[in-house]
Amino acid sequence: MTISVGDKLPDVKLVKATDAGPEAVQSSDYFAGKRVALFAVPGAYTPTCSAKHLPGFVEKKSDLQSKGIDEIACTSVNDAFVLNAWSKDNDASDIAMLADGNADFAKAIGLDADFQGFGMGQRSQRYSMIVNDGVVEQLNIEAPGDFSVSSAEYLLEHI
């Protein structure tokens, strides 16, 4: 079952990428008490993710904050070391990188995707959401191969 607006996020272990190394966090703790713009990419360093998705959120950080967003986070089915390197390569230090290496979070919210045909295994669908104190306030899921409703620009227009 896919998560919906009004649903509470499931409590799943994620790994936050930091310069000091990986930091395990529970999703219930991470999203508690704040309003987070969360977006998911199928993989770090993939073309659309690197050229459009992440840069859009880096560029629109101030605009999102002016609309009441406390933090911006990105999740991907990659390990924390890859996400940390990707963050550095894209000047995205203000974006929290939440590694979902086993796709546990993606599966728990029903937004996992089978990329085995591309040699990439289980991944996450591309989406964006606003999470307010652990509850989904807005959810934008992309159709396979598309990039429009999960962008920072679309999220801003619908806050």
Active centre residues (catalytic): 49
CA distance 125 to 114: 9
- Residue whose pair of structure tokens reads 């050229």 in the numeric block: 51
Strands 112-114 and 122-124 come out as: antiparallel
Half-sphere exposure of 83 (CA within 13 A, CB side): 29
Beta strand 95-99 pairing with 71-76? parallel
